[in-house]
């Protein structure tokens, strides 16, 4: 009995301080982990990061720091943590390989939410699909197409492709190319286009509309008409201008020619005579 008491006393002397330090380390470490996670969450909230992402990142940081605290406490008690860290590393690798695609979508979603190449309500072309952004989640982005279809696109596909945010800027340019016949009056056609543009109140005075000859095509003289409008008026102005130009040109006798091609037809006798001449 005396030997047992002495042994306990020796163990208490040797390990008592380590146990106290390990417990303090756990308590303080847990508190610090929570504080650091809360600070990160507040920073992200100030940057108006999505609430779902904020909570997710806060929990990840908290539990990663908590694992580090547990490993440190175990090391303080004299426990060999090398094997423990090896198991954690192997498990993390296995989980990472199993969830490779999901993790790629998550990281892409985090980048989309942090850097905001587009916002809810923007009309974008992303991941090979076009539509209005309805929702941005951690793993997917949801688009609503003009014909009212819902497209759910993995964020990884979006981050690996070109993103075109059509409505990001307050103004857009309407690009029209109008072809007139070579026999038509070019100056008159340009004057008509200028009048049509000036008559539309939705077209902005600055930047000034551009009306100029862009090319001499195979069957038409091509004139570009490029007015600027507010982004919400783009589609309506685009369609209205096309209709007004067609009706006004018809009324003024300005032709919009069909594509033309000259075809030369030779008979068999003509071909034979031509071959004889060449010989």
Structural domains in the chain? 2-98 (1.10.287.1260), 118-165 (2.30.30.60), 171-252 (3.30.70.100)
Q: For the beta carbon of residue 241, count every other beta carbon within 10 angstroms.
A: 22
- Note if the bond before 155 is cis, omega within 30 degrees: no
CB 210, CB 226: distance < 8 Å? yes
Q: What stretches of the chain adopt beta strand conformation (E)?
A: 123-126, 129-136, 140-144, 150-154, 164-165, 171-173, 176-180, 210-216, 221-226, 228-230
Give per-residue pLDDT as tens, 70-97.
Answer: 877 777 766 666 666 666 666 666 655 5
CB 142, CB 181: distance < 8 Å? no
User: How many CA atoms, within 13 angstroms, populate the side-chain half-sphere of residue 206?
Assistant: 0
DSSP output for 208-240? PPEEEEEEE-SS-EEEEEE-EEEGGGHHHHHHH
Q: Residue 160 and residue 276: Cα distance in Å, rounded?
A: 63
Q: Tokens standing for 243?
A: 């209709």
> Over 70: is that where the pLDDT of 183 sits?
yes
- The predicted pLDDT at position 3 comes to 46
- The proportion of the chain whose per-residue pLDDT surpasses 90, expressed as a percent, equals 38
- The predicted pLDDT at position 68 comes to 81
Q: Residue 127 and residue 134: Cα distance in Å, rounded?
A: 15
């Amino acid at each position: 009995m005396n030997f047992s008491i002495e042994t306990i006393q020796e163990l208490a002397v040797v390990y008592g301080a380590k146990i106290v330090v390990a417990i303090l380390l756990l308590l303080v470490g847990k508190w610090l982990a929570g504080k650091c996670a809360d600070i990160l969450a507040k920073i992200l909230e100030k940057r108006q990061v999505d609430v779902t992402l904020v909570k997710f990142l806060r929990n990840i940081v908290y539990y990663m720091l908590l694992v580090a605290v547990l490993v440190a406490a175990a090391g303080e008690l004299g426990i060999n943590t090398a094997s423990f860290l090896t198991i954690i590393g192997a498990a993390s690798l296995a989980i990472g390989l199993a969830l490779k695609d999901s993790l790629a979508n998550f990281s892409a979603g985090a980048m989309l939410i942090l850097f905001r190449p587009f916002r809810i309500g923007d009309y974008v072309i992303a991941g090979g699909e076009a539509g209005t952004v309805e929702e941005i989640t951690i793993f997917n982005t949801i688009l609503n197409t003009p014909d009212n279809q819902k497209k759910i696109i993995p964020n990884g596909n979006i981050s690996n492709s070109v993103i075109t945010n059509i409505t990001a800027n307050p103004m857009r340019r309407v690009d029209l190319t109008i072809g007139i016949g070579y026999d038509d009056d070019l100056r008159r056609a340009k004057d008509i286009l200028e009048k049509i543009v000036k008559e539309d109140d939705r077209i902005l005075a600055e930047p000034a509309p551009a009306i100029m000859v862009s090319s001499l095509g195979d069957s038409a003289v091509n004139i570009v008409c490029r007015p600027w409008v507010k982004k919400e008026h783009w589609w309506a102005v685009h369609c209205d201008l096309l209709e007004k130009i067609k009706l006004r040109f018809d009324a003024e006798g300005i032709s919009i020619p069909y594509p033309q091609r000259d075809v030369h037809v030779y008979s068999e006798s003509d071909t034979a005579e031509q071959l004889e001449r060449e010989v």
